[in-house]
Every structure is written in structure tokens, then in C-alpha cells.
Structure 1
């Protein structure tokens, strides 16, 4: 086996910069996906049928097509259709945020519907406005139930972030490819980057467990 990890040592600072580059778009995409997913979940449980259908169609499209296809469409089709030269960072945020929101909406919808209907009935009987009822009563309870599923979605998004390397975004995966092309050794940089991804996912999973435990003991 012709392995020589010493060859990638000079490139380690270059690769490590990819951590911030990756996290920057992943965090923004997660926030974007969570906010939009919450809105979609509320539309799905709305009494207005048109809003239900709109949210369901959106979810069906983004869950029924590959994420890499959505990324390519945004990155290549937007300039063709609008003349706006969209950069890889914005393309990544839009593709991952829109895709994630479809899954998050289903998670949140299930969590809301799992809350005891008596909570809603009691709030309505007390004259609590729908918006305040959702914000202060229903959503906080739903969040405790769906936190593991949400963390799993965020972990998946973090791992799938490697797909942005296909549009030239200098994330961790792309930097590993650059180092591999420069040194003619691909295995070593890929293994090194794989270890970084594992650490990121481990930290995210651990943080999720800590939050889940705190919410559990706060009851």
C-alpha cells in the first residue's frame, strides 16, 4: 500500500479552513430550513384547504427529487432563466434550506398533532389567540417530542453538505479533492476530511443529547 500521510501535512491549514466554510452555510441553511419548515407545518394543519395543498405539493416536490438535482437546478438554472449569476454559497443555502424545510415541516407537523388535544381545547376555551397558543403552548411541547428527529435531520444535512463540492464551493470535501489532485494521493486527504466530518457530527449529536436532557429535566 502506497500511503503517505506526511504529504498532506502542508495542506492541513488549507483543509481546516474548510470547517468554517462548511459550517457557515450549514448553520444558515439549518436556520432557514427550520423557520420555513415551521411555517409549512402550520400551513399543513391549517383549516384552509388551499394552504394544506400548497404545503403538501411543496413537500412532495422537495422530498421526491434528489437534493443534488435541486442544487444543480438552482446553481445552473437561475443564471439561465434570470441572468443573475448566483454564487455557490447562496445556491447551497437555498438548495439545502428548501430541501430541509420539507422534512422539518413533516417532523413539526407530527409533533404538533401529537400534543394532547386537550391543550388546544383548553386554550381556546380561555380565549387564547391562535398565534399565542401555538407560540407559547403547543410548539414548546411539540419541540420536546420532536427534538431527536430534528437533530437527526440536522446531522443528515451536515453530512450531505459534501454535495456542494460538485458546484465548486470550497467546503471540506472540495478541499480534499484539491489536495488529492495536487499531490496525486486521494486516499489520505479523503480520510482526513472524513475524520473531520465524523467529529462535527459527533459534536452535533452530543449537543443535541444535552439539549434533550435539559428539556426533559425542565418538565
Structure 2
């Protein structure tokens, strides 16, 4: 079964390589729930030494969601308004916020995910690997967290290993079973050659029916893109 899947996938990718030409695109996993309002401005106004992260789970979650957005918002319109200095300060600030929350509740997978994103932004892959593994161990079956983790790792696959890589592959496999997520994964599979080995490895562990659904989606994507 695995060999047949990989042969079919290789055939599709051979056609894609011929047809893609200059088509460039990237599917982006969005976090849920959505961040409301000027998240970057709120982060810019935080005095963590004076305010802390609070004891309310709702406040902590709000801070973490602002951070999750802030760590991937460098090209947003709001980033232009808050300025380069604020944007440069967000990785360290949000890592500190996330680790403070995680130290109070080691089972907070969102906090570990944000901490991992912060460390990747600060060129700290060893710490990021640990925090990603902690996040997966705390919540291995939460789909919305799987989306966040896949988004965090995106573009950094070469930096993850061990338990973090195992968790990443498990997240990819889980998301491949969801129609909307499968479409986003297929888009990225087409446009990002570095991503393909990870997605292929994740899919190879899944039932044949799921593999076929992904291949059909990939074929449909190529057809709709005029390829």
C-alpha cells in the first residue's frame, strides 16, 4: 500500500513540476479562535514587570493569542503602524509571557506552542524542539492546536527533530483527515518542495482511503489551478 501511494504521489509531482512554471503560492494555517482588535498595539503597551500575566485563564489565553498572532504578523498592515522596534521586541516578550504561563500550568499546550514560535524567531531551535514536544504531549488530539503547531513549524522543518518532529508528523496526519485542512496541506505540498518529504511521511502512515483522498485533492488542486 505504501509503495503504491508513493508511486502515485511521485507521478503527480512529476506532472506538477512540468506544469507549475512560475505559479507561486503558500497556504497558511490560521489560528482559531481569531484575534480581535489591534493585537500588536496591545503587545506594545504591555509592561510585563508591572502587570504580569495575571491569574485569570482568560487573560492568559488572550495574551497568548495576541502573541501567536504577533509572531507571524511581521508583514501585516498593523506592523507598519507599531514600528520596527516593537516588532523586534515581540519574540522575546512573547516567549517570556508563554513560559511564565507554562511554568504555572505545564499542561497549557498553547503556552508551549507560543514559546516554541518565539524561540524559532530568536534562532533557538533546541528550546523550540523541547517546547513543541511539550505542547504535543499536553494536547496531542486538539485539532486547533495541531493547526497552530503546523503553522509554527512551517518553514523551519529542518530545525526540528526527535519528539518535536514526531509530533509534527502526527499533526500533519491528523489534519490530513479534515477536508479544509487537507486542501491547505495540498496547496503547500505543491508550492513548497521542502515540505513534501514530511507530508509524504505523514501520509504513508494513514489508511489507504485517506491517502487516496489527499491524492484526489492534490489532483483537483492542479486542475483548478489550470495546470
TM-score calculated relative to the size of structure 1: 0.28
Higher relative contact order (CA 8 A, sep 6+): 1
Q: Max radius of gyration: which structure?
A: 1
- Higher-helix-fraction structure: 1
